[in-house]
A and B are shown apart, each in its own frame.
Chain A
Amino acid sequence: MPAETIKQIVARYREEKGALIPVLQATQEALGYLPPEALKEIAAAMALPLSTVYSVVTFYAQFHLQPRGRHVIHVCQGTACHIRGGNHILNKIKELLQIDAGETTPDLRFTLEPVACLGACALAPVMSISGDTYGHLKPDMIAGILEKYQ
């Protein structure tokens, strides 16, 4: 499966200089995460040492070596959200899902990722689930919102 997809992705960026990061982003977009075989394929297709590919993948927060949940929850931990109780929101989600920050529920329904800032500070505290943004949160609103995502 990955070999063909990756060849196509690499071909798409052939003309661009320094395209490793966009190639990784497109691969992750297609596969959901970056499995080891995919990284080997990318290294071979771009004629880069595998160690170089790994060094880039592990440097950036956005790349994932493990499968992730169907719905990714980004809980904002920026200053404005922090001041308005963002940590209570994070704790509530941890409690409801029984997972820690950065973890995925065993049924692969949710992945919980605190982020530094979603840039929606006026709505603090804020989180986003699968790209939908929720603002002015209170801990007792969380359970109802999570239910919408199966």
Chain B
Amino acid sequence: MRRILVCAGTGCVASHSRQVTARLKAALHAHHLEDKFQVDNTGCHGFCEQGPLVIIEPEEILYCRVQEEDVEAIVTEHLEQGRPVERLLYQDPVTKEKIATYNQINFYRQQSRHVLKNCGHINPENIDAYLAVEGYQGLQKALALPREEVINIIKQAGLRGRGGAGFPTGLKWEYTFKAPGDRKYVVCNADEGDPGAFMDRSVLEGDPHAVLEGMLIAAYAIGAQEGYIYVRAEYPLAVQRLRIALAQARERGFCGEHILGTDFSCDLHIREGAGAFVCGEETALLASIQGERGMPRPRPPFPARQGLWGQPTNINNVETYANVPLILRRGAGWYASLGTAKSKGTKIFALTGKVKNTGLVEVPMGITLREIIFNIGGGILEDRGFKAVQIGGPSGGCLPAEHLDLPVDYDSLTAAGAMMGSGGLVVMDDSTCMVEVARFFLNFTQAESCGKCTPCREGIQQMLAILTRITRGQGREGDLEQLEQLARVIKGTALCGLGQTAPNPVLSTLRYFRAEYEAHIRDHRCPAKSCRDLLAYHIDPEKCNGCTRCRRRCPAGAISGEAKKPHTINLELCARCGTCLDLCRPKAIYVE
């Protein structure tokens, strides 16, 4: 039986992949092909920009942007006559060539998909699909070993936490294992709140059993009998798939009492978050599971000694747990052979922003930013100039073009003023104002600060006020020095990771794009032509053909002029919304 895989990740579902599945099933029925082809929904393939994605196996043909009305052609031309439908194939943005199989597409070819291997290739709602790809074999191996040996394997593999800071996972497990206490817990941090990151969501949606298996191995290693998965409520599909996976794992004896006939028992629960970014911080997350306000507390004591209800608790994030079954199955030596000296394995990045191929990419640690953005990502949208890449969400930083050849690993990113963080990679082109980007992140952290400690609550507010003034053209001499001073104090004194890293976007943009700040302050000019209050829209009378489109659509009524004669913009009325600029066909409108 050949397989037709339709992506049912959030991205493809948003582009109507469910309707494509339904139509495919109906068409197979109508053409009497039901015994030859099986239609399966999968999790995210990672190539979200091109969705809905349909893969025909075993020939590995990938169809992009498939709509309901394309189904008939796929069935009659491809499935019946064996001719792939050319117009639905992926077109390389550089060579303009049509590429039939996904393994030939640069986006996939240059990745090393290990953690994401099953995502997009198995049905996440069917445990048998996971078992067929060696699922739960890592758990079986672990259960046959002494607990210390499992911890040793993780240590030898060199796995570091994928949640951001990169703490050695084996060491964390060892601390929890050695901590005194009869009741211990494992917790999975699936509160992926970083704007611009969605790898945890995709893993949960596409391969939920891998996360459960990783958690169960951790639970065995540290001696925990209970565990919690704390998921963002904004990810309803992930929550639903996790619930299904958990029920199936319990049914088959991988979770619950006497797992696989051994003395080891562990049950897992799902807790939905209630919408607070700070709950990604481990101590705040624990407070939230306990039913309290999600506020962090000072560490030590670390959760490894005193976590949930005061008991030793191991917390890792989704991607970290998803790496664990692989290590058990394929061995520490295999794992340690991937990556760099101090950062082992692969890392999943959410590649988004002004880049041609957006989506999820899994690459070995140590790959350069240039390879990710230009080879896998296909370069900058509309072939504009590359300006910066924002790494690690609100805790990270913006790196300029001179860092494109930086190898991506925990330590080199930190040295350059960014951090691995969540693994969000947001590419920015020359139309992005870096002062505005810094303001955007501060606005986010300011809104999400829990307010418990003064540096974070008051300090970020002050930094935001200064940045807002600068983007409005009201910057003053001395602002930059004050920003730097505030940043130093907040980094040094805030209670938790949210506050300690909040100034990073400001510091990194000040470090690499200081001239842009100075242009705003001294010349009241936004070099990227992005800050509204510093812009003026004009019409070039030479180019304007008087088509009246802009006049009719201007929401502020700021444009005047007669048909077929050059129009003008009244700057006092102009709301600087950019509508006219988008509408103008002869490109007569320009911004200063």
Which chain A residues have a beta carbon within 8 Å of chain B's beta carbons? Answer: 16-22, 24-25, 55-56, 59-63, 74, 77-84, 88, 91, 95, 115-124, 126, 131-135, 139
Contact = CB atoms under 8 A, between A and B. Distances in A.
Interface string B257-281: 0000000000001011111110000
B234 A19 contact: no
A143 to B, nearest CB: 13
A119 B48 contact: no
Query: Max chain A CB contacts within 10 Å: which of B49, B234, B272, B276?
Result: B234
Given A79-B353, A83-B354, A123-B11, A22 B444 contact: no
Contact of B194 (A117, A124, A134, A139): A117
B196 A88 contact: no
Contact of B195 (A16, A55, A117): A117
Contact of A61 (B14, B15, B275): B275
B14 A134 contact: yes
30 contacts: A17-B309, A18-B290, A18-B291, A21-B272, A21-B274, A21-B288, A22-B271, A62-B273, A79-B352, A79-B441, A81-B195, A88-B577, A116-B193, A116-B448, A117-B197, A117-B198, A119-B197, A120-B10, A120-B14, A121-B198, A122-B51, A122-B352, A122-B358, A123-B14, A124-B353, A124-B358, A133-B13, A135-B11, A135-B14, A135-B15
A80 B352 contact: yes
A119 B10 CA distance: 8
B33 interface: no
Interface stretch (B19-27, B243-251, B424-432, B560-568): B424-432
B289 interface: yes
Given A79-B390, A79-B424, A120-B10, A84 B294 contact: no
Contact of B236 (A19, A126, A131): A131
Given A115-B234, A121-B358, 11 more contacts: A25-B272, A59-B295, A74-B234, A78-B195, A79-B195, A80-B195, A120-B48, A121-B424, A122-B49, A132-B14, A135-B15
A121 B13 CA distance: 14
Contacts of B432: 83
B193 A117 contact: yes
Contacts of A20: 291-292
Interface string B168-200: 000000000000000000000000111111100
B233 interface: yes
B393 interface: yes
Count class of interface residues, chain B: 35 or more
Interface string B369-403: 00000000000000000000010010000000000
B67 to A, nearest CB: 14
B253 interface: no
Contacts of A132: 14
Given A25-B233, A118-B234, A123-B14, A56 B293 contact: yes
Query: Max chain A CB contacts within 10 Å: which of B11, B195, B277, B294?
Result: B195
Contacts of A135: 11, 14-15
